[in-house]
Amino acid sequence: MDRHIISVLVKNSAGVLSRVAGLFTRRGFNIESLTVGSTENPEFSRMTITMVGDNGNLEQIKNQLNKLYDVVKVVELKADNSVIRELVLIKVNATDAERGAINEVAKIFRCKIVDISEDTLTIELTGDESKISALIKLMEKYGIREIVRTGIVALERGENDIQSYEEAWV
């Protein structure tokens, strides 16, 4: 089973997220991560969906997505030809003695310390999955209180964009 990243351009309308998620549910496929946001054109939103499955599963999902009224375009993004990022916030235990060491790790990873309390630090990091996983592993020894991850966002590298695949873009 391979991991696939699907970029879906949709009309920005009520219920479109529910219809897309329902399609996955009805087919018995799991969405590993899902991010949605408006595009440069407020009439459209872009979904980045990560799923695990074989090529047959991927083709089935792409075909079914293309049948939905609100879907304008579906494109699979290849990891070797895309910019892929994720955002994570990590709240970690931090005694006075540990704050310096945690801050040094944050500097190495180019993180931001976005909140400080008496007993915790909250760290923000943007990067690829391996970078985020490496930071999480290093922070485990201090005691992680909470983690929240955005899920993957991705764009194709170079001049290609989802618009170049769809002449109907308004």
User: Tens of pLDDT along 71-100?
Assistant: 999 999 998 999 999 999 999 999 999 999
pLDDT in tens, 29-57: 999 999 999 999 999 999 999 999 999 99
Tell me the residue range of the domain where 123 lies: 83-153
Q: What is the CATH number of the domain that holds 15?
A: 3.30.70.260
Rounded to an integer, what distance in angstroms lies between the CA atom of residue 161 and that of residue 155? 7
Same domain? For 90 and 116 the reply is: yes
User: pTM of the entire structure?
Assistant: 0.84
Residue 9 lies in a domain: yes
- CA-to-CA distance for 49 and 62, rounded, in angstroms? 11
The amino acid at residue 111 is C
Let me know whether 7 and 55 are in one domain: yes
Total domains in the chain come to 2
Whether residues 7 and 67 share a domain: the answer is yes
24 domain residue, yes or no: yes
Same domain for 69 and 87, yes or no, is: no
Given 77, 108, 138, the domain boundary residue is 77
Q: Tell me phi and psi for residue 157, to 5 degrees.
A: -70, 160
> 67-100 b/e with 16+ CB inside 10 Å = b?
ebebbbbbbebeeeebebbbbbbbbbebeeeeee
Query: 89 and 123: one domain?
Result: yes
58 and 87 fall within a common domain? no
Per DSSP, 78 falls in state P
Measured CA to CA, the distance from residue 50 to residue 153 in angstroms comes to: 9
Spatial distance between the Cα atoms of 131 and 96, rounded to a whole number of angstroms: 26
Residue 170 clears pLDDT 60, i.e. is over it: no
Nearest by Cα to 53 from 25, 74, 34, 29:
29
My answer on whether 26 and 93 are in the same domain is no
